[in-house]
């Protein structure tokens, strides 16, 4: 009877080990650890870096349409603050539903700005704002001059038809702490893929 090479003996030992109950448990434990690590990584990325969100409602038409998927950059909370013109996601507590509500709105004014709406036009710091992303003048009437506190944002939906958007005109300026992230891309459907 000849001698088996050392490599062949080692492979036989590994096969025996994996066939034993201890070897199977070891293999299962290894896969469980890998799965848990993968899930933790996904949760970490989702919490602090980016996630995807689906548009619901008509408040951001014509820019965003219900059913579109957005890429949300959450790093804006760590590096800088939203600027005028940014489309952001905010998390507000709903008294009716007793759970947070996520809204997609456009930042029209930041801390220190004065907002005023008259004759269907938006004015920031006394100057009429060019808003090519809207499809109609503001139909909800006027809004008296209002100065935004530092650390707050004034947000509006792009749909300016009457009662189309529940925004800062009704619930006031939004604290920066409520900003979840900035919507940067429409990623679905593919024929609508574009940067916001």
Active site residues: 59, 105
- The Cα 105–Cα 92 span in angstroms is 12
Which of 115, 104, 64 has the alpha carbon at shortest distance from 82? 104
| Intra-chain end-to-end CA distance of the chain, in Å | 75
- The Cα 49–Cα 52 span in angstroms is 11
Q: Are strands 121-124 and 127-128 parallel, antiparallel or unpaired?
A: antiparallel
DSSP 8-class letter at 6: H
| 51, 72 contact by CB (below 8 A) | yes
DSSP 8-class letter at 4: P
């Amino acid at each position: 009877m000849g001698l088996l090479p050392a490599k062949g003996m080692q492979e036989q030992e590994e096969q025996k080990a994996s066939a034993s109950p201890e070897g199977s448990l070891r293999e299962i434990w290894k896969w469980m650890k890998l799965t848990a690590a993968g899930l933790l990584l996904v949760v970490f990325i989702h919490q602090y870096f980016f996630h995807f969100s689906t548009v619901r409602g008509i408040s951001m038409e014509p820019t965003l349409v219900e059913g579109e998927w957005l890429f949300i950059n959450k790093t804006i909370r760590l590096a800088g603050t939203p600027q005028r013109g940014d489309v952001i996601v905010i998390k507000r507590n709903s008294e009716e539903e007793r759970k947070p509500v996520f809204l997609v709105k456009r930042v029209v004014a930041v801390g220190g700005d004065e907002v005023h709406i008259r004759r269907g036009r938006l004015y920031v710091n006394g100057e009429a704002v060019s808003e090519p992303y809207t499809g109609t003048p503001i139909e909800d009437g006027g809004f008296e001059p209002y100065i935004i506190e530092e650390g707050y944002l004034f947000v509006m939906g792009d749909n300016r038809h009457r009662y189309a958007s529940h925004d800062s005109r009704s619930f006031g300026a939004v604290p920066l702490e409520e900003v979840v992230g900035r919507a940067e891309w429409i990623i679905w459907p593919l024929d609508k893929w574009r940067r916001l």
